[in-house]
Amino acid sequence: MERSLTDLSEEYFKAAEDIGSLIEKYRKKLQEAYKARDYLRTYEIKRKLTIFYDQKRDILDTAYTLKNYYEKDCEVMSA
C-alpha cells in the first residue's frame, strides 16, 4: 500500500492531536497533585508532560516537513 507524503503528514498531525489529548489529561492530573500537595506526583507528572511536549514538537516538525516537502523542491528548481 503506497501512501503519499501528504497522507503521511496527515497521520503525523493526527498523532500530534492524540498527544495533545494526553497533555490535557496530564495537566488536569498536575492540578490535582498541586492541590493535594503531592510533590513527588507533581514531579512525575511534570516529567511526563515535558516528554509529551517534546514528542509533540518533533511530530509536528516532521508533519510540516512532509507536508511542504515538494514546495522546497520547487523553490530550489526555480532559483
Low-confidence stretches of the chain (pLDDT beneath 70): 1-2, 72-79
Average pLDDT, rounded, for the chain: 89
Per the listing, cell 503531592 goes with 38
The helix-helix angle for 69-78 and 39-67 (nearest 10°) equals: 40
Question: pTM here?
Answer: 0.79
User: Residue 58 is placed in which grid cell?
Assistant: 518533533
pLDDT at residue 51, as a whole number: 98
